[in-house]
């Protein structure tokens, strides 16, 4: 069994994934960490030194390798992963895989991302909260089509991590 968490950056994929992995006694993987480990560079360094196109190619390659493994795990995707290349098709066609969209609203995303701006290469140079909100709104508009093709959609606004984990485990049974 592979449980794949998707959603916009700041939606809680890592925090929920870690808690869900602990509850289900499965390994937790973060796609960005897997890419960083293989490249021996941080995600911001990959974007700066090699560019987004290189990053997206590497992301697809590593995703495909993970999906081909026989081991069970929980994987947090990057926010854009399902939206590029054939990634969504890979996710939908992978055996014993459940794709879950952590659906988080614009206001909640903006609040979370304001405090994490410097660690996120796609938004680090945005000048104001208003520009950040417009950026998120545009991306959500573009990406919702992909996110909504998930096997499960879990609304996360105003829920704690344990509540989200409980809802996911109920849906999986």
The secondary structure of 108-169, three-state, reads: HHHHHHHHHHHHCCCCCCCCCHHHHHHHHHHHHHHHHHHHCCCCEEEECCCCCHHHHHHHHH
Q: Could you read off the pLDDT of 116-160 as tens digits, one per residue?
A: 877 777 787 888 889 999 999 999 999 999 999 999 999 999 999
Cα separations (Å) of 77 from 15, 55, 134? 12, 13, 23
**Looking at 46-55, 92-101, 118-127, which range is the least confident one?**
118-127
User: What's the pTM value of the predicted model, to 2 decimals?
Assistant: 0.92
Would you give the DSSP letter of residue 111? H
- The per-residue pLDDT for 13 is 95
Closest CA to 59 of 75, 73, 71: 75
Structure tokens belonging to residue 123: 């938004």
Measured from the Cβ of residue 136, the count of other Cβ atoms closer than 10 Å reads 22
* Predicted confidence (pLDDT) per residue in 4-46, tens digit: 999 999 999 999 999 999 999 999 999 999 999 999 999 888 9
Residue with tokens 């947090």: 76
pLDDT of residue 66 exceeding 80, the answer is: yes
8 A C-beta contact, residue 20 and residue 162: no
Give the pLDDT score at 77.
Answer: 97
Q: Which has the closest alpha carbon to 62: 41, 33, 100?
A: 33
Q: Which domains are assigned to the chain? A: 2-165 (3.40.50.300)
Average pLDDT of span 88-99: 94
Q: Using CA atoms, how far apart are residues 172 and 164, in angstroms rounded to an integer?
A: 12
Q: Summarize pLDDT for 68-85 with one digit per residue, the tens.
A: 999 999 999 999 999 999
CB 66 within 8 A of CB 46: no
């Amino acid at each position: 069994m592979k449980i794949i968490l998707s959603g916009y950056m700041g939606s809680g994929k890592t925090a929920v994934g870690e808690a869900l992995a602990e509850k289900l006694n499965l390994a937790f993987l973060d796609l960005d960490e897997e890419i960083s480990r293989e490249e021996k560079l941080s995600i911001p360094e990959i974007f700066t030194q090699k560019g987004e196109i290189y990053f997206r190619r590497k992301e697809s390659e590593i995703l495909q390798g993970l999906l081909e493994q026989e081991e069970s795990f929980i994987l947090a995707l990057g926010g854009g992963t399902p939206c590029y290349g054939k990634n969504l098709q890979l996710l939908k066609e992978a055996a014993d895989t459940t794709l879950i969209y952590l659906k988080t609203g614009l206001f909640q995303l903006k609040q979370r991302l304001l405090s994490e701006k410097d660690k996120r290469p796609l938004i680090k140079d945005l000048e104001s909260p208003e520009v950040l909100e417009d950026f998120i709104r545009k991306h959500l508009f573009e990406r919702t089509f992909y996110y909504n093709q998930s096997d499960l959609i879990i609304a996360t606004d105003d829920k704690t991590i344990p509540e989200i984990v409980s809802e996911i485990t109920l849906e999986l049974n």
